Structure 1
Amino acid sequence: MTTLLLVEDNEMNRDAISRLLERRGFTVLTAVDGEEGIQLCEEKQPDLVLMDLGLPGIDGFEATRRIKANPQTARIPVVALTARVLTSDQEAAFAAGCDDYDTKPADLTRLVGKIRALLGTSGAP
């Protein structure tokens, strides 16, 4: 089963997105901030990370940089999942190491398509 790590500080977003992805057959781990996201990424080795960029403490940009700088986690794809819609935010996310970028509110069909493309899968997880 495909395991995703959702790093999201907003409880309503975290619960809604994780439930929707679980209904699509994914196992979803959650973290409430960048520090916890980095730690869970190292410990659990998820197949993919969905990273909010506007996190308290260590933001999503820095958390992604740290995930990508660590040889244990560098191979894990990171998708920025954020309400930030400016081109400069998207460019900064890619510069930090994100493999893809999607906006909130999440379009689940589009998001799942990006997840599958990054993991090289089709159909159910």
Structure 2
Amino acid sequence: MNRTVLLIEDNEQNRYLTTFLLEKHGYSVVAALDGARGIELGKTANPAIILLDIQLPVMHGYDVARALRSIAPLQDVPIIAVTSYAMAGDREKALAAGCDGYIEKPIDPDTFVSEIRKFLPPE
């Protein structure tokens, strides 16, 4: 089973924690610091899932989600918005842009990986 996670996150601490939790559970993490680089890595990394921050430099996360969805091999790859955007309507905006799920920051280290697994096929 493919256990590669594409993490598009500009905040170093968030990237570190997310990577630590995922690697501890046997996932391989490929990280991008901005949306443009995330799109490029999406084309080559063959991710099983994409974790996408919404507030990014270079490109906004909603635009990144739309761009990822336009890449044929990524059309069925789950994209999960992992974001501090928690106002009314933010979840709906993420889903409308092409995300399959939405997790609010700060993430809960005790439940984060199990939340991600909900979007992956059973092992």
TM-score by length of 2: 0.92
- For the aligned residue pairs, the C-alpha RMSD in angstroms reads 1.3
Q: How far did 1:37 drift?
A: 0.6
Say whether the 8 Å CA contact 1:77–1:118 is kept in structure 2: yes
Distance 1:94 1:87 in 2: 13
Segment of structure 1 superposing worse, 105-114 or 42-51: 105-114
1:108 maps to 109
Q: Give identity over the alignment, percent.
A: 38
Aligned residues: 122
| Counterpart position of 1:93 | 94
Ranges in structure 1 where 5+ consecutive residues have no aligned partner:
none
- Where 2:72 maps in the other structure, the secondary structure is coil
Aligned partners of 1:69 and 1:104: how far apart in 2? 27
- Secondary structure of 1:119's match? coil
Secondary structure of the corresponding residue to residue 121 of structure 1: coil
| Residues 57-68 of structure 1 aligned to structure 2 (within 5 Å) | 57-68=58-69
CA contact (8 A) 2:35 2:56 kept: yes
Structure 2: any 5+ residue segments left out of the alignment? none
Deviation of residue 109 (structure 1)?
4.0
Structure 1: how far apart are the matches of 2:4 and 2:73?
Answer: 16
Tell me whether 1:74 sits opposite 2:72 in the alignment: no
Q: Could you tell me how far apart the structure 2 residues matched to 1:86 and 1:111 are?
A: 20
Distance 1:21 1:60 in 2: 21
Bigger CA drift: 46-55 or 100-109? 100-109
Match of 1:40?
Answer: 41
| 2:29 is the alignment partner of 1:28 | yes
CA contact 1:33–1:55 (8 Å) conserved in 2: yes
